[in-house]
Structure formats: C-alpha cells, structure tokens
Amino acid sequence: MTTCRLRAKETGLLSAGICLFILFPVFGEDTHARLAALEARIAELEKRLEEQNAALRLALDTHQAGHTANGPNSEMAAFSNRLTTVETHLATMRESGETPWPDGLSLGGYGEVHYSNLSGQGGAADKREIDFHRFVLMLGKTFSERIRFNSELELEHVMAGDNEKGHIALEQAYFDFDMNDSHTLRAGLFLMPVGLLNAAHEPTRFYGVERNPVEREVIPSTWWEAGIGSHGWFNDSLEYAAYLHSGLKTDRAKNYAVRSGRQKVANADASEPAGTLALNWHRPGFTLGGSLQYQSDITQGAELESVPGVFSEGHLIWQHERFALRKRPAKHIGMGAGSAADGLL
C-alpha cells in the first residue's frame, strides 16, 4: 500500500511524503500436518511403484513362464498415474502459498520516505532533502485465545551507529492476557495511551508529511515506557487504559519538558515510577477522550526538592463522511515550570 501526500504553504513550501507499507498476512491455518500426511502417501506410493517395477522386470525375464506384458504394464501405469496426480496436487499447494507457517505467528510493518522541497523566507533556510525516515518491523505470536505477544522494531534514517544520523529502537514488546471478553492485562514495553497519535502513529493516521508539532514536541510521539496495567471496555462506548510504568527524568535546565525527559527504558532510572489513566468515549463519527499522568518527582531525585509532574491532555474527533475535525489541548505542569499547547489537525 502506497500513500502520497503533498502540502503547500504561502512561503513556497512543497513537501511530499511517500509511505511504503509492507503487510504480511497472519496465517491461522495449520498446513504442516496436511503436507506431512501427503508426503507420507507419496512415500507409500513410491514404494509400491518400486515393487511393481520389480514385478515387471521379473515378468519380462520370465516371459516364457506365461506372464504377459500387458498385465504388469497396466497395473504399473495405474499406480504411475496416481502418483503423478498426487505430485501435481502437492506442487499446486506449494505454488499457491500454502506452505507451513508457525501457527499463530504474525509479521508486518511499514515505512516512510519523505521528499522535502522548501523555499525559505523571513530568515528560514531553503531545504532540498529526501529521507527514508523510518522502517518498522512488527512481530507477534498468538499462544492461545487469551495470550498474545506483540513487538515493534524501528530503524530511522537508514543507518545507525557511530557518527550516523539514524538509530534503532525497540518501541514495543509486551504480552496481553485476556482476563475476560472486556478486560486485558498488559505487561512489558508499550506505547503510552496519550493523545491522538502516540498509540497509533502510522503515516495514514496523520495529515501531512511529518507529524504535527503538538504531537511531536508537546506529546512526544512516539513515547513508550515499561510497566503493567490493563485496558479494555466498561461498556460498548467507554474505553479505558490504566498503567503503572517507568517515569520521566528531566530537570530545570530542560524546562521540565516531556520530550527531553523520556528515558526510553534504556538503563532507565526507576526511583520514581509514574501512573497513567486514559478514557475514550466513542459514538458513531465522534470520539471524546483524554489522559492524565502523575509522577511524584519528574527529576528522579536529581534536584534538592522533588518536582511533582502532572501531564494531562484532551482530544476530540468528529467525522462526517469525508470531513473530519480533530482537536487536542495538552498541558504539562511541573513545579517552577509549565507549558501548554493547543493544536488543530
């Protein structure tokens, strides 16, 4: 699936985003047993064919004993035709893609290539750039009707390592345990249920080449933590998520910003964990929701006094046929510092 986006501004901005999707189906049917049984049948037929060939050679050598060539040849031809039919059927299965696949395993992914052609005005610089922004692979495994594993590995800007522009990150790796039909326990490394894009940030979910500034700087998509909690539905309309997880680590020099405080679960300081609660109310064509996160000290003890942190955001989605409106205010409050933003997508 390929999606292209073009956006022009009065400043002469022209940007194009090309999203390359690599989607792989989930194979649920177990064909391994079928192929094994079919190969066993072929082996049996081959054995019987060899016996018939031996009988034919014996018949030809002892023709004078009264054996006729028509009998053995006819019987051998019948077995040969049956073997050819089975081999043809097996080849058809293989060509059609019905190959053995580990039961419950899923593989998917997506990618983004950006082309930017910017004419700077009012002090802005010109920009001519093409960038394979990200390539993402997702691997999952369904162990039973109630237990699943999902993961997401991302490579940004093609090359990662010393003095390279890109990096590799494990953004998700978690288990889901269905407690019942409405509530699921989640444990591991997962995305925060904050904002409109963080939990589902694929290129088709936002308008434009890049994610909008609010959900890139204020709500730092992508934002993941390690922890445990549950998510699900209280009824057909009210969705929830509640997690206890690793927290931010920021300070006054960073203006207590959320984006710079992400530890990304890489030898993260866990002195002060955080908690997040998210609610979404869904109606046909309409979603109203928000999230609240609290951490008793967003500096993880780096400053003399604790700096409590509260992050809250609200969002609204209204859609009528092909027209859609999305709005989300976000606010990050810390002792001695605060920032607020409101955006329209």
Alpha-carbon distance of 311 to 290, in angstroms, equals 11
How far is C-alpha 144 from the chain's CA centre?
Answer: 19
**Enclosing H/E stretch for 34:** helix 32-61
198 has pLDDT over 50? yes
Cβ atoms of 91 and 35 closer than 8 Å = no
User: Is the predicted pLDDT of residue 69 greater than 50, yes or no?
Assistant: no
pTM of the model: 0.67
Distance of CA 112 to the CA centre of its chain: 14
Q: What beta strand segments (E) does 296-345 contain? A: 309-320, 323-334, 337-344
How far apart (Å, rounded) are the C-alpha atoms in residues 181 and 236? 12
Residues 171-178 have a mean pLDDT of 97
Q: What's the start-to-end Cα distance of the chain, in Å?
A: 23
Answer for the pair 219, 195: CB distance below 8 angstroms, yes or no: yes
Least reliable range by pLDDT among 39-48, 216-225, 333-342: 333-342
Calculate the average pLDDT of the chain: 80
State the pLDDT confidence band at 343, using cuts at 50, 70 and 90: very low
pLDDT of 203? 84
Distance CA 126, CA 151 (A): 38
Q: Answer yes or no: is pLDDT of 22 > 50.
A: no
Output DSSP code: residue 273.
-
Helix (H, G, I), strand (E, B) or coil at 108: strand
What one-character DSSP code corresponds to residue 27? P
Rounded Cα–Cα distance for residues 254 and 132 (Å): 29
Q: What is the mean pLDDT of residues 73-80?
A: 65
Question: According to the model, what pLDDT value does residue 200 have?
Answer: 85
Encoded tokens for 8: 């022009």
Q: Considering only CA atoms, which of 214, 240, 198, 208 is closest in space to residue 329?
A: 214
Average pLDDT over residues 34-51: 74
257-294: per-residue pLDDT in tens? 889 999 999 999 999 999 999 999 999 999 999 999 99
pLDDT value for 105: 93
Per-domain boundaries in the chain: 32-95, 179-344
Q: What is the pLDDT of residues 289-309, one digit of tens each?
A: 999 999 999 999 989 889 999
Query: Alpha-carbon distance 271 to 252, whole Å?
Result: 18
Which residues sit opposite 229 in a β-bridge?
186, 243
Which residue has 């089975």 as its token pair?
86
